[in-house]
Amino acid sequence: MIFYLLFPIAIIIWFSFNNTHSRFNFVWQGWTLKHWKDPFQVPGLLDALKVSVEVALISTVIATVLGTMMALAMVRYEFRGRGPLNFFIFLPLATPEIVLGASLLTLFLFLSNVFTLGMVTIVIAHVMFNISFVVVTVRSRLIGFDRSLEEAAQDLGANAWQTFRLVTLPLIAPGVLAAALLAFALSIDDFVITNFNSGSTVTYPLFIWGAARVSIPPEVNIVATMIFVVTVAIAIGTVFQQKRAERMASVRPDQEAIAV
């Protein structure tokens, strides 16, 4: 199963070194590094990648902040409507992307005097479907959180903000980081929802879709390989950070020393 999942990625990386002489990079014709010398020589490729990264960064920051606050409220507090809110959080996860995209397009067209299809509508759309993933990820981290650590900080004189900044946030940081990385990954490669709400703005997935109708240059594979390598590096760093946080959380003071 792992081989089945990784095989298409290996093909993408392999064909980034293809010495193709045609517009379509589908048949292996030899090994070369010439395409790696200038991976952004295809007109519009670099601009589309910049737009995708910018959209992903903005939507990730907004979705992570809002989603983390929502997760804290849903886990920590009892309030009217908490049950229905749990249900509505999962609706974007279960709704087909084409339905979300069409619905958001209808909304933006209805509010055409406020919104113009483009960068802003793409960011709003990405924040909307990313928040659910952030809430689910951060909430799973908060469910097993030891509240006695916060109570100890408050007993020692810390106010609510100091307790959150110095105790709560560092302990849930691996979950928040994982949620942010998930939101970034979902945003940077989204096509369906973006295609409905992009207007004239072209993101990297939209560029590939448009280029596929006339040609598939090796540079597309090169940029995809770069994104994959960076993602893997960040994922490995996150795993090590989570293990470090788990080791720190498992450390408990010596009971005999406390008694003394």
pLDDT in tens, 190-199: 999 999 999 8
**Number of other CB atoms surrounding residue 76 within 10 Å:** 12
pLDDT band for position 59 (cuts 50, 70, 90): very high
Going by C-beta distance under 8 Å and a sequence separation of 6 or more, which residues neighbour residue 100?
A: 92, 125, 128, 129, 193
Please tell me the least confidently modeled range out of 140-144, 158-162, 242-246: 242-246
Of 243 and 246, the one with more pLDDT: 243
Q: How far apart are CA 105 and CA 194, in angstroms?
A: 10
The percent of the chain in helix, strand and coil, each rounded to the nearest 5, is 75, 0, 25
Task: Give the per-residue pLDDT at 244.
Answer: 73
Quick: pLDDT tens for 101-119. 999 999 999 988 888 899 9
Percent of the chain with pLDDT over 70: 94
Task: Inform me whether the pLDDT recorded for 242 exceeds 80.
Answer: no
Task: Give the per-residue pLDDT at 112.
Answer: 85
Furthest-apart CA atoms within the chain: distance in Å: 79
Task: Give the per-residue pLDDT at 131.
Answer: 93
Could you tell me the pTM of the whole model?
0.80
Q: Which two tokens stand for residue 150?
A: 């916060």
Task: Inform me whether the pLDDT recorded for 73 exceeds 70.
Answer: yes
53-147+174-247 is a CATH 3.40.50.720 domain:
no
CA 255 to chain centre: 42
Quick: pLDDT tens for 117-154. 999 999 999 999 899 999 988 988 887 777 777 778 87
Going by C-beta distance under 8 Å and a sequence separation of 6 or more, which residues neighbour residue 249?
A: 146, 171
Give yes or no for a contact between 215 and 6, defined as CB atoms under 8 angstroms apart: no
Going by C-beta distance under 8 Å and a sequence separation of 6 or more, which residues neighbour residue 246?
A: none
